[in-house]
Amino acid sequence: MVDITFKTYTLRKAIATAIVKVSKQETIDAIINRQVPKGDVFEMAKAAGLLGVKKTPDLLPDCHPLPIEFTAIRYRIDGLEIHIELEVHTIYKTGVEVEAMHGASVVALTMYDMLKPIDKGIEISTMRLIEKKGGKSDFKDKFKNRKDLKAAVIVCSDTISTGQKEDKAGKAIIAKLKTCGVEIGAYEIIPDEKDQIQNCVHRFSKDKYNLLIYTGGTGLSARDVTPESIEPLLDRRIRGIEESIRNYGQDRTPYSMLSRSVAGVKGNMLILALPGSTNGAKESMDAIFPHVLHIFGILNGNRHD
């Protein structure tokens, strides 16, 4: 199965359709008048469709089990055609397109099975997905100006700055930014010292950088001073970003309760202080990117950017 552990929960919707075509008007009349020998076709097919949606991962090997939070099945008769529309919602890490299509196909097959004793000319056709919402593809076009964004990545570590260890967290942050189309304007390694940390804020704010990301110095020891150094310089703290990072991490390790990530703005520059571990930095970036880039549309006065 495809790895979706790095994805975040979003509202996802899908609508699929299928068409059942009968060969004579008498079949349509029997359905409407509930005179089909096997029972009420619409109600029976609806029940089967609900089961089909729920049972999708039991039959399709690569389909992830997920919570089905809403399913609607609608019918429309057009001449000798019965148009089936099936809608599915979930709040999860992957979409429900396959569930909607599988449910629509089960509805159509149930109708075929119930109607075949009275009509030998039934056809099933045009089973397709007509709408999909939610997930990365639904939001990617909202960040139209990301190529104009310039970021600085600062690694705060005494051991890395003296050459005793190699930086991996900063490089993981840079790799994620590149996938989001953000220009890397600066990459520096500094000791975890208040003066140097604050100097970076002043310098990159003056140089009109859009994004300043620190990694390291967010632990609980007396030497970890990155949050305390940054907070007084922020015009406004954005706790929602911090909560998103912490919640994402908490789903993966209980130690995330100790996270001291900091997020806020100074002028039009977004400043983030992320953990110094490679996994901590990578997961923090996965938790909020690329969606956090929407902030630059807001900072520039375009709330619908």
CB atoms within 10 A of CB 189: 17
pLDDT number for residue 151: 97
Neighbouring residues of 21: CB distance < 8 A, sequence distance ≥ 6: 80, 81, 82, 122, 123, 124, 125
SS3 263: strand
Q: Which amino acid is at 28?
A: I
Catalytic member of 40, 113, 138, 158: 113
Measure Cα distances from 174 to 120, 150, 226, 227, 287 in Å: 63, 12, 19, 21, 15
* Residue extent(s) of CATH 3.40.980.10 domains in the chain: 143-299
* Residue extent(s) of CATH 3.30.70.640 domains in the chain: 10-139
> Distance from CA of residue 191 to its chain's centroid?
35
* H-helix segments, the chain: 25-32, 41-54, 56-59, 97-115, 136-139, 158-161, 169-179, 194-206, 226-230, 239-250, 278-288, 294-299
Of 51-60, 66-75, 296-305, where does mean pLDDT reach its minimum?
296-305
What distance in Å separates the CA atoms of residue 14 and residue 100, rounded to the nearest whole number? 6
pLDDT band for position 304 (50/70/90)?
Answer: very low
Encode pLDDT of 241-274 as tens digits: 999 999 998 888 888 888 789 999 999 999 999 9
Angle formed by the axes of helices 278-288 and 169-179, nearest 10°: 20
Domain 143-299 = CATH 3.40.980.10 = yes
Q: For residue 289, what are its two tokens?
A: 């990117």
User: pTM of the entire structure?
Assistant: 0.76
Burial class (CB in 10 A: 0-12, 13-18, 19+), 159: middle
Note if 113 is an active site residue.
Answer: yes
The domain at 10-139 falls in which architecture?
Answer: 2-Layer Sandwich (3.30)
Whole-number percent of the chain with pLDDT over 90:
81
pLDDT number for residue 185: 96
Q: For residue 239, what are its two tokens?
A: 């706790």
Encode pLDDT of 67-102 as tens digits: 999 999 999 999 999 999 999 999 999 999 999 999
Asked whether residue 162 carries a pLDDT value surpassing 70, the answer given is yes
